[in-house]
Amino acid sequence: MGHLDEYRVEDLPGADVLYIPDFIPKETASEWYQALEQSCTWYHPKLKVYGKEVSQSRSIAAYATDPSITVKYSGHTVNMIYTYPAILQSIQEAVEERLGVKFNHVMLNRYENGMEYIGRHRDTKENRVIASLSLGAVRTFIFTPTKNAGESASLKKIPLLNGSLLVMKGDTQKLWRHEIPKEPKILDGRISLTFRQLDL
Ligand SMILES: O=C(O)CCC(=O)C(=O)O
């Protein structure tokens, strides 16, 4: 991914993050938003939080290229679908082509408005590539350093634009957490597609 060096995000010591603000034109982003809203199998996962079952506020849809791929989080086994809708297939190919890497799983998140969020967390600690495409409302992505990120590390906010691509790799997950906080003033929806490389 050396050809993408110009997109490297500064001020994230130890992390390896690229941000391409104009990965696709806004008009394409709006078309993809509508197509995905209609063609994906969305649902609200039921999670176990301190032993209680709660319905996750944001809905998700999940696809994988190989039937051996399964994902579980917070006591919930993700409803994985092994056939991509055509639009999703072509979006994954566009991301793969731009980055020069292959993915075998995509998790889509749909935030109806600014009240829906994702709490501060880390993804797999392995140093695989995770690429996240943003469609719709601009939401703020916040990186928070762990202790191991060093003295100079401090919170970093990135407003994720409609049609932008954020790429995390290397030690990013090991040293930093990320979240999309509530922003109650935002009334519009956002869909993110997080492309991943999982073990078969
Ligand atoms: O919606 C996003 O861009 C963030 C999603 C995220 O943090 C995740 O799937 O781990």
pLDDT score at 125: 64
Which ligand 1 atom sits closest to the C-alpha of 141? 3
pLDDT of residue 89: 98
Rounded Cα distance between 7 and 104, Å, is 24
Q: How far is the CA of 68 from the centre of ligand 1 (A)?
A: 23
Q: Where are the domains of the chain?
A: 2-196
Helix (H, G, I), strand (E, B) or coil at 3: helix
Give SS3 for 100.
Answer: coil
Average pLDDT, integer, range 10-26: 97
* pLDDT tens digits for range 132-183: 999 999 999 999 999 999 999 999 999 999 999 999 999 999 999 999 999 9
How many Cα atoms occupy the beta-carbon half-sphere of 26 within 13 Å? 6
* Among protein residues, the one whose CA lies closest to atom 10 of ligand 1: 123
Residues with CB under 6 A from ligand 1: 107, 109, 118, 123, 132, 178, 180, 192, 194
Buried b (16+ CB within 10 A) or exposed e, 55-93: ebebbbbbbbbeeebeeeeeeeebeeeeebbebbeebbe
| Ligand 1 mean position, distance from CA 137 (Å) | 14
Report residue 59 CA to chain centroid gap.
13
Which CATH code, of 3.30.1370.10, 3.40.50.720, 2.60.120.590, 3.40.366.10, is assigned to 2-196? 2.60.120.590
pLDDT in tens, 60-74: 999 999 999 999 988
Closest Cα to residue 136, out of 175, 98, 108? Answer: 108
At residue 193, does pLDDT exceed 90?
Answer: yes
Higher pLDDT, 15 or 1: 15
pLDDT cut 90: percent of the chain above it? 92
**How far is Cα 5 from Cα 146, in angstroms, rounded to an integer?**
25
